[in-house]
Amino acid sequence: MCVNQKAKLNTAPLLQKKLFSTLPFVYVLLVHFILGLSYRSIGQTTVAETALWFDSLRNREIPVAIYWPAKSEKVMGVLVFSHGYGQNQPNSHTAYNYLTTFLAQQGFLVLSIQHELASDSLLPLQGPAQIVRRSNWERGAQNIAFVIRQVGQRYPSTRNLPIQLVGHSNGGDMSVLFANLYPDQVNKVISLDHRRMPMALASKPSYYSLRSIDQVADAGVLPNLDNQKLFNIRITQLKYAHHNGMDDSGTPKEHDEIKTWVLRYLLE
């Protein structure tokens, strides 16, 4: 559905931010249940559109799904989302609607990038991943850089807003690589179970990662406990979510856990 109208932001996301900052996280879901404040009951819907942006420097089309908070003249921040590897299938960037729509409902402008096109080479599955897949991640980082530039040009009101990156699996590797290379361009990067790209030992931007119950990152990808404390890098082991359940195919329990943690990270 392509709709271009944007309206005033509901204040409910600010109420949720207050709840997160004043209540221990273990009670958040209980509070939502008791008060009847389900995520969908905050009085917002999202305005979604799909677009095909053209990067003239690389002669490349970039499909983007754009999720605006409805009833909003301005947004809380800009979030660039990168999907997991989908074997170059089209519309991979719309396979996380449970999360992208939810985050738009909380007041974020969400842009989800289709990273692989049908004409691209398939992701190599043989050989050292950090070597044979590097070109794929670098192209993804270029896609992210292009979209960030376009946001500032197309939506001038967002130019001074913080930019957050969220990526699943291979898209998490791309997001982490971009943050490693251009730390001054993003505020936070949240990976959903990325497994190959090492996080930089740095406190800027803020690094976060949600880990699935069934996949393990390669050696050296996640900082050890000492470095996590030193650089305030947050690694969270999930209780329910499987690696492949982090897209729309997951269960409601998996999705609720991911939404809760991602929102908590964004509001910190």
Please check the confidence at residue 13 and state whether its pLDDT lies above 70: no
Rounded CA-CA distance 100/81 in Å is 8
pLDDT of residue 18: 42
User: Cβ distance 142 to 57 under 8 Å?
Assistant: no
| Average pLDDT along the chain | 86
pLDDT of residue 2: 37
Give every CB contact of residue 112 below 8 A, 6+ residues apart in sequence: 64, 65, 66, 67, 81, 82, 83, 93, 94, 96, 100
pLDDT of residue 70: 77
Q: Find the mean pLDDT for residues 21-35.
A: 39
pLDDT of residue 46: 77
* CATH code, 12-267: 3.40.50.1820
The per-residue pLDDT for range 118-150, each reduced to its tens digit, is: 999 999 989 999 999 999 999 999 999 999 999
Q: What is the DSSP string of 123-142?
A: PP-SS-HHHHTHHHHHHHHH
DSSP letter at 106 equals T
Please check the confidence at residue 31 and state whether its pLDDT lies above 80: no
pLDDT of residue 21: 43
pLDDT of residue 16: 44
3-state helix, strand, coil in the chain (%, to 5): 40, 20, 40
Sketch the domain layout of the chain as residue ranges.
Answer: 12-267
